[in-house]
């Protein structure tokens, strides 16, 4: 089979009926053999593994949020499948990173037409969780966890939790041992970056590249209102600098915390951890350009 189109019908609280109809039209016109798989929220990864095994699709194109793409990283990596991603989530950090800012229909057409691909690095955390874009411990992970627990959704709920977490973030101590150096540090947040920016466009570091064979640990030592303003404005100005950030580049690292903290990866809460072992897997995902 040529094309497997995966659609998360609930990501970003966006109705995908219109997109699904347009996609069927585009795929039929292309004359390519295709199948559409709508995720259900249950055993989706196993389902995709089954579809890859039975139908051997040349390309898998995923429409959803960053969490949807993350769910399928393992089989996509293991099968060296060519992947396209149509950002239709709430935060869309990957869209910022990979410049996927076109209309969904146009992105679909681009992925159908192109055979060119770029090999992206992935990070493996504690031997099992894969990270494509960004993860963190501390203030932002707490924000993601509280937002997920809250019955409400949308900007207002997000703003409420953002404010309660970031107005007075609590710092914590940790030790980092990379393939190069050892560090003892304290901060309100420790970010694990394969890329550079949050979905809001707020950059965490200026050196990260998603295919350079390195990842970056960014220690946010403190955060005040002027930092947030500077970070937001820096969307337009890459010269964002603050003494509150320290960037450590590595190929592998162990992080030891004094107390367990929540870890979020690509916008999804994973669990609480006291120790993290991070390893870069170079050129693991074949991403259609
Ligand atoms: N049909 C479905 N019903 C309920 N949940 C679903 C369904 N399909 C997938 N999911 C769940 O959706 C989550 C992934 O959503 P995703 O993160 O892509 O969207 P989002 O949170 O709206 O976007 P973003 O990550 O960009 O903020 C996974 O936890 C997955 O299990």
Query: Tell me: the pLDDT tens digits for 84-138?
Result: 999 998 877 888 888 898 899 999 999 999 999 999 999 999 999 999 999 999 9
**pTM score, whole prediction:** 0.91
pLDDT band at residue 236 using 50, 70 and 90 as cut-offs: very low
Residue 27 has pLDDT above 80, yes or no: yes
CATH class of residue range 129-282: mainly beta
Q: Specify the pLDDT at position 264.
A: 93
Q: Does ligand 1 come within 6 angstroms of the Cβ of 39?
A: yes
Q: Where are the domains of the chain?
A: 3-115, 129-282
Both tokens of residue 282? 């170079």
Atom 7 (ligand 1) nearest CA: 41
pLDDT band at residue 230 using 50, 70 and 90 as cut-offs: low
What is the distance, to the nearest Å, from the Cα of residue 226 to the centroid of all Cα atoms in its chain? Answer: 26
ipTM score above 0.85: yes
Q: Specify the pLDDT at position 200.
A: 62
Q: Specify the pLDDT at position 69.
A: 96
Check whether domain 3-115 has CATH 3.40.50.300, yes or no: no
What is the share, in percent, of the chain residues with pLDDT greater than 70?
90
How far is 161 from 147, CA to CA, in rounded Å? Answer: 6
Question: Ligand 1 center to residue 43 CA distance, Å?
Answer: 13
Q: Does ligand 1 come within 6 angstroms of the Cβ of 222?
A: no
Q: Does ligand 1 come within 6 angstroms of the Cβ of 64?
A: yes
How far is 226 from 221, CA to CA, in rounded Å? Answer: 14
Q: Beta-carbon neighbour count of residue 244 at 10 Å?
A: 18
pLDDT band at residue 207 using 50, 70 and 90 as cut-offs: confident
Q: Does ligand 1 come within 6 angstroms of the Cβ of 89?
A: yes
Both tokens of residue 94? 């990957």
Q: Which ligand 1 atom lies nearest to the CA of residue 65? A: 18
How does the average pLDDT of the chain come out, rounded?
A: 90
Q: Which ligand 1 atom lies nearest to the CA of residue 267? A: 25
Mean pLDDT of 170-174: 94
Residues in the chain: 289
Which residues, other chains included, contact 267 with Cβ-Cβ below 8 Å and sequence gap of 6+?
A: 65, 66, 67, 70, 89, 91, 93, 144, 199
Question: Ligand 1 center to residue 24 CA distance, Å?
Answer: 22
Let me know if 85 is exposed, middle or buried by CB neighbors in 10 A (0-12, 13-18, 19+).
buried
Residue 22 has pLDDT above 60, yes or no: yes
Q: Which ligand 1 atom lies nearest to the CA of residue 68? A: 18
Question: Which of 67, 153, 158 has the most ligand 1 atoms within 8 A of CB, as the residue to mutate?
Answer: 67
Question: Ligand 1 center to residue 40 CA distance, Å?
Answer: 9
């Amino acid at each position: 089979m040529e094309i497997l189109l995966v659609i998360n019908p609930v990501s970003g609280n966006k109705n995908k009926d219109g997109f699904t109809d347009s996609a069927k039209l585009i795929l039929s016109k292309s004359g390519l053999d295709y199948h559409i798989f709508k995720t259900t929220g249950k055993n989706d990864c196993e389902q995709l593994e089954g579809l890859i095994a039975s139908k051997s699709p040349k390309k898998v194109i995923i429409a959803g949020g960053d969490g949807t793409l993350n769910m399928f990283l393992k089989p996509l990596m293991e099968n060296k499948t060519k992947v396209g991603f149509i950002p239709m989530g709430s935060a869309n950090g990957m869209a910022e990173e990979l410049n996927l800012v076109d209309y969904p229909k146009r992105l679909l057409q681009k992925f159908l037409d192109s055979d060119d691909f770029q090999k992206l690095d992935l990070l493996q955390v504690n031997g099992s969780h894969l990270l494509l874009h960004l993860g963190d411990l501390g203030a932002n992970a707490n924000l993601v966890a509280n937002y997920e627990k809250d019955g409400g959704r949308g900007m207002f709920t997000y703003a409420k939790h953002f404010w309660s977490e970031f107005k007075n973030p609590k710092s914590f101590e940790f030790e980092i041992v990379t393939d190069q150096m050892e560090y003892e540090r304290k901060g309100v947040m420790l970010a694990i970056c394969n890329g550079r920016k949050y979905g809001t466009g707020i950059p965490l570091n200026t050196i990260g590249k998603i295919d350079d064979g390195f990842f970056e640990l960014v220690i946010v030592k403190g955060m005040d209102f002027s930092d947030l303003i500077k970070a937001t404005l820096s969307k337009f100005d890459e010269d964002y600098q603050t003494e509150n950030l320290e960037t450590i580049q590595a190929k592998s690292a162990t992080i030891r915390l004094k107390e367990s903290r929540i870890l979020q990866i690509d916008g999804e809460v994973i669990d609480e951890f006291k120790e993290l072992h991070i390893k870069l897997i170079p050129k693991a995902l074949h991403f259609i350009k």
